[in-house]
Structure 1
Amino acid sequence: MEHHPLHRRSFLHVCATALAATASMAVSAGAVEPATKLIVADQAEFVRNLLEASGQRKTLSFTVDFPNFAGGPAILEAIRAGALDIAYVGDTPPIQARASGTLLPIVATFTREIAQYRLTSRAGLRIEKLSELKGKKVSYVEGSGRQVYLIEALNRAGLTLGDITPVNLRVADLPDALRSGAVDVAVLQEPFVTRLSRQAGASAVVDPEERRLLPSTSYFYARPDALADPGKAEAIRQFLAAFVKAGKWSNENDKAWAKLYYTDFQRVSPEDTAAILKGQSPLVFQTSAEAIPHHQKLIDILYQAGSIRERFDAKGSFVDTFDKTIEQSR
């Protein structure tokens, strides 16, 4: 398929128009036309489940669709095609999109102090130190949050991508690749870390430094045309308010949320659900000003590794249109 990413200069013009529209709309923010539809890219059906479990979806007076995707690259293709309004993505996709000339503004940031990614090794291989990644076949998903996580793990060990054999896979193929031994190490998320550890003899990297690599940061980024539409922009504002409140509910009711999402929805055993919950830290919601420093760090990591050609200013990746909403809802 041939891609036609937005030229950066063209995007900046569209984004300026979007910001002007949302700024003028903000004073009269209120009801959204019932016919309005917001299309939100989801992953592992996390956003939809969180809104429904917390009761926040019922507070939205407009239709929200949640097409589910496996990873940031597929989401980028859909948003480029105009099929999405906003998208839930990991920390790397907005950077890779901008590096390719498609600057999609980040409208909200949420993070966990402890990363949800785990470097996980196949059966028969136990990695005690990050330095032992040298020479191993390691999953490397271009354009996903796993990318920067792996690069930072190598940095901490004094290694580079040239010191491993990177195996480029789709996100959905990672568990089977590890299970079959096609790769030595994969960057996984729950429930697959716990599931493969119990069922297939896999094991998370033991080095305590691995748990301190990076926080688990995710974003919602938006299609500029959606921000430029006052009705859509107000729907996005109300959606983000509901999402932040839902996240707050999950922090305060972590056991109930874990049961609903992992045990009931993903069919994880109660014992494994408890193990997953033990390794998690609460969701934290950030304004653009609070999120920019860490985003700059991620840009710098990717640039220094040669994964992007330009070191750009993180401030240009964010809009502050919805910061007040996030502050009032968290």
Structure 2
Amino acid sequence: MDRRTFLAATSAAVFSGTWGARALAQAAVDPKTRLVLADQGELVRVLLEASGERKTLDFDLQLPNFAGGPAIFEAMRAGALDIAYVGDTPPIQARAAGTLLPIVATISRQLSTYRLVSRPGLVIDTLAQLKGKRISYIEGSGRQVFLIEALSRAGLTLKDIEPVALRIADLPDAIRSSAIDVAVLNEPYVTRLAKQVGATPVRDPVERQLLPGVSYIYARPEVLADPRRSAAIRAFVGALVRAGKWSNAHQEQWGKAYYTDFQRLDPQSTAAILASQSPLVFQTSREAVADHQKLIDILYAAGSIKQRLDATQSFTDAYDAVIAAQR
């Protein structure tokens, strides 16, 4: 199937999902339905379990864990996954590659979950000091657009740094061993590396104002067109929104469940992470378009994608009603 045919079929599938939203709104999910969702850092699994929302899902929800958006994208293209929890860049890179994986839900924080972290012994006070540094980021992941924006704020581009290609799983060890100067990391690695080896986030206050923290749930069009799995997605999205709302209201319980018990951080580190985070906000497709377009424009201006995409075409509104009702 060529790109034009694929996108036409995708648009039909998304329309079908939108139309089907009304019919499925009150429908019970068939307990025999199997839904495979790609998790990262087992965040979705722990959130659903800690909040008690996993028990509300009366179908076979499987949550294989992945390290980063590129690996998830390959699994999606192979048909091994139905939906996925990803960062802000993977849906854009997928579209740029000719594969539209519609976004069904958007999870946002006012402050980005990414930080620019320097190796032990290297203190970076301003974004301009990134020039010439050995920096690792993962192309096709949310780390990419975060670094591009950080460089842009300092009048720099990717050509002004020495990029080092690494897997996401290798980034913490690369910082520990000083194999690189800077990495784009998220928690719990930012706090863990600061405590273990003295790695430090870039001190420039602009670094915390670069971008909001955005994550998406996206799906294969074939899954959206399947009434049984679409109904299961609806139930999952409702449970995820309620779980996120619970985590906002019960920060200490959430922090203990995820950062202390699962990630094995001490309570003081957990408290520091929670204090640095802003609340989760669940957005409908219309509400999420502006930030998504900004991300597209950043990647396009940097030459990382060849076409300026229309953000409105990245979303399906089939699950907006449940997001609005449960948040």
- 8, 13, 20: which one aligns with 1:13: 8
Q: Name 1:275's counterpart in structure 2.
A: 272
Aligned 1:21-40 pairs, distance under 5 A:
21-29=16-24, 30-40=27-37
1:40 Cα deviation after fit: 0.5
Cα separation, 2, equivalents of 1:23 and 1:158 = 43
Secondary structure of 1:28's counterpart equals helix
Q: 1:251 to 1:309 in 2, by over 3 A?
A: same
Q: Percent sequence identity over matched residues?
A: 64
CA deviation string 1:122-158 (max 9, x = no partner)? 0110000000000100112110000000000001011
Secondary structure of 2:107's counterpart equals strand
Aligned 1:1-330 pairs, distance under 5 A:
7-29=2-24, 30-330=27-327
Secondary structure of 2:116's counterpart equals strand
1:7 Cα deviation after fit: 3.6
Cα separation, 2, equivalents of 1:187 and 1:120 = 6
Q: List structure 1 segments (4+ residues) > 6 angstroms apart after TM superposition.
A: none
Cα separation, 1, equivalents of 2:5 and 2:191 = 45
Q: Decide whether the 8 Å contact of 1:300 with 1:311 is kept in 2.
A: yes
Q: Which amino acid aligns with 1:302?
A: L
**Over aligned residues, Cα RMSD in angstroms?**
1.0
Cα separation, 2, equivalents of 1:314 and 1:24 = 21
Cα separation, 1, equivalents of 2:265 and 2:158 = 34
Secondary structure of 1:27's counterpart equals helix
Cα separation, 1, equivalents of 2:19 and 2:139 = 38
Q: Which amino acid aligns with 2:74?
A: E
Q: Decide whether the 8 Å contact of 2:20 with 2:318 is kept in 1.
A: no
Q: Which amino acid aligns with 2:11?
A: A
TM-score, structure 2 as length reference: 0.98
Q: Decide whether the 8 Å contact of 2:18 with 2:317 is kept in 1.
A: no
Cα separation, 1, equivalents of 2:67 and 2:265 = 19
Aligned residues: 325
Cα separation, 1, equivalents of 2:265 and 2:5 = 46
Q: Decide whether the 8 Å contact of 2:21 with 2:319 is kept in 1.
A: no
Q: Which amino acid aligns with 2:8?
A: H
Q: Which amino acid aligns with 1:90?
A: G
Q: Which amino acid aligns with 1:12?
A: L
29-38 or 119-128, larger mean C-alpha shift: 29-38
Cα separation, 1, equivalents of 2:237 and 2:147 = 30
1:92 Cα deviation after fit: 0.3
